[in-house]
Amino acid sequence: MRKTDNLIQMPNTRYTEGYLPKIAYHMFKNNFDKMMYFYDRQIEKYGEMTNAQKERVTELHNELVMDQAVQEAQDHFITDFNLPI
């Protein structure tokens, strides 16, 4: 069997912000159960959330809201704007 106690632990480069983006996404989708699941996972893995992390979740959530608003405005503009041919 391969000896692993001397290996260096690699930092988590795949999820640099932990579960914060997942928390924000499920908050945006109003999926309370999944949001709480990832909130609990965040606490288990990284400890209690700091104010900065909570603010980051809010920022990510607001970005999703704004992206949706822009997309809806573009969709509305495209479907309602008719050029005479």
- 45-82, pLDDT tens digit by residue? 999 999 999 999 999 999 999 999 888 888 777 665 55
Give me the percent of the chain exceeding a pLDDT of 70.
75
Q: What is the DSSP string of 35-72?
A: HHHHHHHHHHHH-SPPHHHHHHHHHHHHHHHHHHHHHH
Query: What predicted TM-score, i.e. pTM, was given to this entire model?
Result: 0.72
pLDDT score recorded for residue 57? 97
pLDDT > 60? residue 1: no
Return d(Cα 13, Cα 33) in angstroms, integer.
26
pLDDT > 60? residue 6: no
| Mean predicted confidence (pLDDT) in 6-25 | 77
